[in-house]
Amino acid sequence: MIEKINKLLKQVEEFRPKAVAEVEEFRVKILGRKGELNDILEEFKTVAPELKREFGQKINQLKTAAMNKINALREELENSGNADSEVQIDMSRPGSADEIGSRHPISLVKNEIIDIFGRLGYVVADGPEIEDDWHVFSALNFALEHPARDMQDTFFSEKNPDILLRTHTSSIQVRTMESQKPPIRVVCPGRVFRNEAISARAHCIFHQVEGLYIDENVSFADLKQSILYFAKEMFGEKARIRMRPSYFPFTEPSAEVDVSCNLCGGKGCNVCKHTGWLEIMGCGMVDPNVLEASGIDSKKYSGFAFGMGVERIAMLKYGVKDLRLYFENDVRFLQQFDSVI
Ligand code: PHE
């Protein structure tokens, strides 16, 4: 029996496996339920009592040596990267592609609007979302007690009513006029905030792109032509526009622009409420008071401004009828707007 144990000890010592699988095989052979060690333990039962101590120690020596060796070999092989050496690696398999996200439809439409006006020479101007009364209202010819301030339900700061969340990006136009000399040609994209109940047609946060063009001899005809160009680029060559008189404190005259319904081609459907027309923006000639408030000589210069809601344009372009979808970030909705840009 001692001889057998010594033989196994030698085997343990000389064991040089190449892969983890071999180590496991070896473990089963020596330490497994039907392994060599168990056979020895069976034999041990028949050993004479006076020899038990010596034999017992020898058996323990074998068990410890085998376990230590197996653990050490396992660790060594796993760390050296040979753990998978049994697994065939197929070098011709294609790599796993990373899933690429897509742009949000609001960003797509916003970028497209910027792009279209970019072709007419407009550059992007930026400004803060947290504004003061001057840039959102007063500089834009909203008289202090004028009811037009109620047209846009404003979020005011509780601590300081002079501080508010901008209700339109016209505030950027004011900042531009204050800091630049004409000719000015800017588009002002950004988030705006109005205290409105959230529904399919309204939200308290939405996006606008407004525009401003100031130079000598700018006329209403220039405004109309620019908007027509925009409508055709955005909605297709067949798009037509019409202008209806409107009111904004900062423009005079002012107009609301409708584009022919691109879903029914102007014949009338339930999206355009059977009128054939869809409202897309407000616009007008910049009121001389507004030019003067920002230090621009209204005798020398004139200009026009326009402003539109990005969600609204996106709704009309993609036929999405519920505005809330743009804010819920449901990937099933967003994935439909695959894009590379
Ligand atoms: N600022 C207006 C709004 O938010 C839009 C507008 C811009 C109208 C410029 C006319 C001229 O409703």
Which residue has its alpha carbon closest to ligand 1 atom 9?
Answer: 306
Q: How far is CA 109 from CA 112, 235, 242, 253, 309, in A?
A: 5, 11, 22, 28, 10
Q: What is the pLDDT of residue 341?
A: 52
Counting ligand 1 atoms within 8 A of each CB, the residue from 137, 170, 220, 230 with the most, and so the one to mutate, is 170
Structure tokens at 19: 């892969």
Tokens 């497994």 correspond to 32
Q: What is the pLDDT of residue 283?
A: 98
CA 259 to chain centre: 30
Q: With bands split at pLDDT 50, 70 and 90, how would you rate the model's confidence at 185? A: very high
- Does 7 score more than 90 pLDDT? no
> Would you say 209 and 186 are in contact if contact means Cβ atoms under 8 Å apart?
no
Backbone angles phi, psi at 12, to 5 degrees: -60, -45
Give percent of the chain with pLDDT exceeding 70: 95
| 236 CA from centroid of ligand 1 (Å) | 24
| 77 CA from centroid of ligand 1 (Å) | 71
Q: What is the pLDDT of residue 173?
A: 97
Structure tokens at 300: 């020398």
Q: What is the pLDDT of residue 163?
A: 93
Distance between CA 235 and CA 237 in Å, rounded? 7
Which residue has its alpha carbon closest to ligand 1 atom 7?
Answer: 307
Distance between CA 340 and CA 241 in Å, rounded? 31
Distance between CA 203 and CA 255 in Å, rounded? 23
Greater model confidence, 132 or 33 = 132
- Does 234 score more than 90 pLDDT? yes
Average pLDDT in the chain: 89
Say which amino acid occupies 214. Answer: I
Distance between CA 182 and CA 294 in Å, rounded? 12
Tell me what percent of the chain is helix, strand and coil, each rounded to the nearest 5: 40, 20, 40
Which residue has its alpha carbon closest to ligand 1 atom 4?
Answer: 168
pLDDT tens-place string over residues 34-51: 888 888 888 888 888 888
Q: What is the pLDDT of residue 153?
A: 84
The 10 Å Cβ neighbour count of residue 239 is 19
| 166 CA from centroid of ligand 1 (Å) | 12
pLDDT tens-place string over residues 125-160: 999 999 999 999 999 999 888 766 666 688 988 899
Q: What is the pLDDT of residue 62?
A: 87
C-alpha Rg value of the chain to the nearest Å: 39
Which residue has its alpha carbon closest to ligand 1 atom 5?
Answer: 307
> Would you say 13 and 65 are in contact if contact means Cβ atoms under 8 Å apart?
yes
Nearest Cα to Cα of residue 286 among 170, 200, 120, 149: 170
Q: With bands split at pLDDT 50, 70 and 90, how would you rate the model's confidence at 184? A: very high
pTM: 0.71
CA 170 to chain centre: 25
Q: What is the pLDDT of residue 84?
A: 52
Which residue has its alpha carbon closest to ligand 1 atom 2?
Answer: 307
Q: What is the pLDDT of residue 59?
A: 87
Residues at CB less than 6 angstroms from ligand 1 = 168, 170, 210, 248, 251, 282-284, 305-307
- Does 79 score more than 80 pLDDT? no
> Counting atoms of ligand 1 from 1, which one is nearest the CA of 169?
1
Average pLDDT over residues 271-300: 94
Q: What is the pLDDT of residue 34?
A: 87
Distance between CA 168 and CA 194 in Å, rounded? 9
| 172 CA from centroid of ligand 1 (Å) | 12
The 10 Å Cβ neighbour count of residue 192 is 23
Average pLDDT over residues 8-36: 85
Average pLDDT over residues 13-19: 83
| 307 CA from centroid of ligand 1 (Å) | 4
| 13 CA from centroid of ligand 1 (Å) | 87
Average pLDDT over residues 60-84: 79
Contacts of 253 (CB under 8 A, 6+ apart): 220, 245, 284, 285
Contacts of 102 (CB under 8 A, 6+ apart): 334, 335, 337, 338, 339
> Counting atoms of ligand 1 from 1, which one is nearest the CA of 282?
8
Looking only at the bridges linking them, the beta strands covering 184-193 and 123-124 are parallel
| 107 CA from centroid of ligand 1 (Å) | 20
| 170 CA from centroid of ligand 1 (Å) | 7
Distance between CA 170 and CA 138 in Å, rounded? 12
